[in-house]
Structure 1
């Protein structure tokens, strides 16, 4: 967090405290004057209006954003009802200067303002990329361009945009080892894969990086470092919008990236609906509100129906009150809980062959259908192999096997809850002895683990009731030799 950001946050906190103090005085005065229910409701509305106005600090007069808006206006961007602001809960975002009605066009960014592979290929990098074999991917081309433009500093045409990009990210590619270790097992594996993927991109393109020496003022190995490429990769991965481009013989692979200055300041909220796409008629990337935004409130966009693990892995944050949030049950945990079953290997193999070992989850409402289906199959003895396929097709078992499946689901939740609590204890200890950079990463993982703890607690409550049954039960005999 920069010094300016910390000062802005201090201002927000102080303003909120003052507003709350004044609110308390107003409410106390109304009660003392005996105005009753209607006065309380009016005071509440006044308080909400005041709070909505003071929970943000405009950034539109700060030099970086003045330069950004000038840069965009020179490229054809016109006025918008949004302004950059710092919010107490989400940090940097866009604030509505006036009420935005449902269906209203919120933002229209001309194609000339978008940073795409076309931008890169028409730049000084174009001749190097077009002549290089093997061909680069669109992602690598964009990353290299960002690094080179950042290297140019204020001499870069895109400096006003580069200057407002985050200096670092809270994506797993940036995570310290202790932070990665605090993740749930599945997320930890994917985080390590992400980190390794970025390292592989850097190591496999070193020869191309060195070919750019004629346009660099310092040795290529000092400019196109792993850290610089990681920053660029996260910038593209977290901030680009989907925009399909025609295939280009100079690049290999699907080209769907577009960096959208100003537009990428919009934060995600899972309950917000917008229409976002590139308009082939106006040649602008457009955002249209579905539900509208009140005046002075933060305008949001929806990145998609992602659970919190996906948001953390791809974008580096966890959204509060996410209706899509789940906790994943990994195959390793299933095998550990059921390791006494002599036929477990064959059952796991059967589940894997039928694509039933991934996306096993629990939510606040209880275990998912996929998880319960997998557990029903795992509850069967090998002597009832003929019923395995019927179970995967959705058939519910006899009452005893169904009860076993519910008990096992409860055991899985208890194990996951223990792991979550242990991880939160570990994070608490790390927070006290880590620097600011690592603390920011830890707070993201802490939010994920806290959400996980709440989901598992609610799921365990849901599992306390009698197991639900639907349709005709399959008749099956319990396996007396099965270890439980």
Structure 2
């Protein structure tokens, strides 16, 4: 008879699981709402899949492999009848109202209104099993409070404000259409198609839909390539994962095929595309850890402020704008991006060398002295951005102590973005340190600059 071994405690088990790379998860497939979802999908022709809904300690809700998935294996094949598209909407009770409305609605608005109306119908809705598992709120900018907006990076703050305003405009500009739907609603339209309800629907479509082209029709106007895909949309994003995803015209199913495979009990992922973290936060409401595509963007206003003593700055900025050189100016962990360095090299030139400006944009090298000035300028940009990041993180820490749960979730997303920026900028400065000389060595080669801050 073998002696009973010492029973490890919870802390020891957690350490062992972390060392072995085990991701802790809890199956969700026995919860009533997921049972109803799977029954709903099976009734529409969805067959078995090697995945099950689960809650993961690191990413939250996702899909877990029930068995090892081999490279190239089909992991989800969702029939067309399970997809919620504009065709679904046009063939529903909303169809006559949309088809007769002028001017024509956008496909996005049609889907949003359908989601709101179906949620309003509750369990009477055919799509209730799907709507019941959708998030009740989101952590993308359309939901951000003013306090959260204030701790975003400058460029992200501007785009976030544009997203929030776009949703408000969609709601305010379509009030007449909303009122036309009163006959199919059991409550006053103003209580159903509220701004908050439309925002929820807009974020549901924007964050969860897959790309699927649809034939044009005479009833809708604009981009029509949205499809909401129940169950499939539980797949989370990871930057280093490769999958093949598309609608198969032969099988009439939306299919996901793994490229690299997934081990049993591990989370299966999808790749939303090579987005940096700012784009992921803006479009999907999360920040992916260890994202190799992430960069920090340099805003034009900051660039101008750093070299504000240059008497020919206005002319140079105008020249850069005319040549489409004022966007995608980035800093990465490896150092400044090519576009940023090229723009700064042009800023290093005196106005007397105007004839060389175009050549620099095309890749012509500048003298060593001007190259050193450019490196110092980028270093200053990096330091300014890092200070802004530190300030924002301090404000976020303060806000987290005072806010409620919904705002806390938003702040945690922004905090992840800012922490990533801090790491990128720190690594970038290290890369720049090895290439820079002391400022005193550069005084004789600066452009028309009285002071560089």
Q: TM-score, normalised by structure 2?
A: 0.95
The equivalent of 2:325 in structure 1 is 356
In structure 1, the residue matched to 2:227 is 258
Distance (Å, rounded) in 2 between the aligned partners of 1:138 and 1:45:
47
Give the distance between the partners of 2:448 and 2:284, measured in 1 at CA.
48
Residue pair 1:381, 1:482 contacting (<8 A) in 2 also: no
Instruction: Say whether residues 1:483 and 2:450 are aligned partners.
Output: yes
Per-residue CA shift, 1:408-455, capped at 9, x if unaligned?
000000000000000000000000000000000000000000000000
Which residue pairs with 2:135 in the alignment?
166
Q: For the residues of structure 2 that align with 1:480 and 1:165, how far apart are their CA atoms? A: 56
Match of 1:317 in 2: 286
Q: For residue 270 of structure 1, give the secondary structure of its aligned residue in structure 2.
A: coil
Q: Is 2:378 the counterpart of 1:409?
A: yes
Distance in 1 of aligned mates of 2:145 and 2:197: 17
Q: Is 1:88–2:57 an aligned residue pair?
A: yes
Once the two structures are superposed, residues 4-62 of structure 1 have per-residue CA deviations (whole angstroms, 9 ceiling, x without a partner) of xxxxxxxxxxxxx95542477xxxxxxxxxxxxxxxxxxx799627x34xx00000000
Counterpart contact for 1:247–1:254, Cα < 8 Å? no
Write the mapping of 1:231-270 to structure 2, written as runs, cut at 5 A: 231-270=200-239
> Structure 1 residue 73: deviation in Å?
0.1
8 Å contact from structure 1 (residues 400, 478) kept in 2: yes
Match of 2:20 among 23, 28, 48: 48
Q: Taking structure 1 as reference, are residues 449 and 46 closer, same or farther at Cα in structure 2, changes over 3 Å only?
A: closer
Q: 1:121–1:390: structure 2 CA closer, same or farther, 3 Å change rule? A: same
TM-score normalized with structure 1 length: 0.89
Q: 1:129-148 to 2 correspondence within 5 Å?
A: 129-148=98-117
Q: Does 1:156 align with 2:125?
A: yes
Q: Hey, what does 2:441 align to over in structure 1? A: none
1:258-306 deviation per Cα after TM superposition (whole angstroms, max 9, x unaligned)? 0000000000000000000000000000000000000000000000000
Instruction: Assess if the C-alpha contact under 8 Å between 2:347 and 2:447 holds in 1.
Output: no
Question: Quick one: which of 100, 105, 124 aligns to 2:93?
Answer: 124
Shift of the 22–442 alpha-carbon distance from structure 1 to 2, 3 Å rule, reads: closer
Q: Alpha-carbon deviation of 1:483? A: 2.0
CA contact (8 A) 2:349 2:447 kept: no
Corresponding position of 2:71: 102
State the distance in 1 between where 2:18 and 2:378 align: 48
Any idea what SS the aligned residue of 2:84 has? coil
Check 1:398–1:224 CA distance in 2 against 1; reply closer, same or farther (3 A cut): same
Deviations 1:213-250 (A, max 9, x none): 00000000110000000000000000000000001110
2:420 alignment partner, one of 434, 448, 451: 451
CA–CA distance in structure 2, aligned partners of residues 217 and 245 of structure 1:
32
Q: Is the 8 A contact 1:120 1:141 kept in 2?
A: yes
The alpha-carbon deviation at position 482 of structure 1 amounts to: 2.6
Q: Does 1:21 align with 2:12?
A: yes
Contact 1:381/1:478 (8 A) holds in 2: no
Rounded Cα–Cα distance in structure 1 between residues aligned with 2:407 and 2:243: 34
Q: Distance in 1 between matches of 2:177 and 2:249?
A: 34
Is residue 402–residue 467 contact of structure 1 (8 Å, CA) maintained in 2? no
Q: How many residues align?
A: 438
Contact 2:243 2:256 in 1 (8 A): yes
Residue by residue over 1:108-135, the C-alpha shift from the partner in whole angstroms, topping out at 9 and shown as x without a partner, is 0000000000000000000000000000
How far, CA to CA, are the matches of 2:436 and 2:362 in structure 1?
19
Aligned equivalent of 2:304: 335
Query: Following TM superposition, by how much is the alpha carbon of 1:72 offset from its aligned partner in structure 2, in angstroms?
Result: 0.1
Shift of 1:480: 6.7
CA RMSD of aligned residues (A): 1.6
8 Å Cα contact 1:101/1:291 also seen in 2: yes
Name the CA shift for 1:107/1:480 in 2 (closer, same or farther; >3 Å). Answer: closer
Structure 1: 5+ residue stretches without partners: 1-16, 25-43, 469-476
Distance 1:266 1:415 in 2: 38
In the aligned structure 2, how far is the partner of 1:178 from the partner of 1:285? Answer: 40
Pairwise CA distance, 1:349: 0.3
- The structure whose RCO (Cα within 8 Å, separation 6+) is larger is 2
Q: CA deviation at 1:467?
A: 6.3
Local SS of the residue matching 2:63: strand
- Contact 2:350–2:447 (8 Å) recurs in 1: no
What is the distance in 2 between the residues matched to 1:45 and 1:183?
35
Counterpart CA distance in 1 for 2:412 and 2:184 is: 40
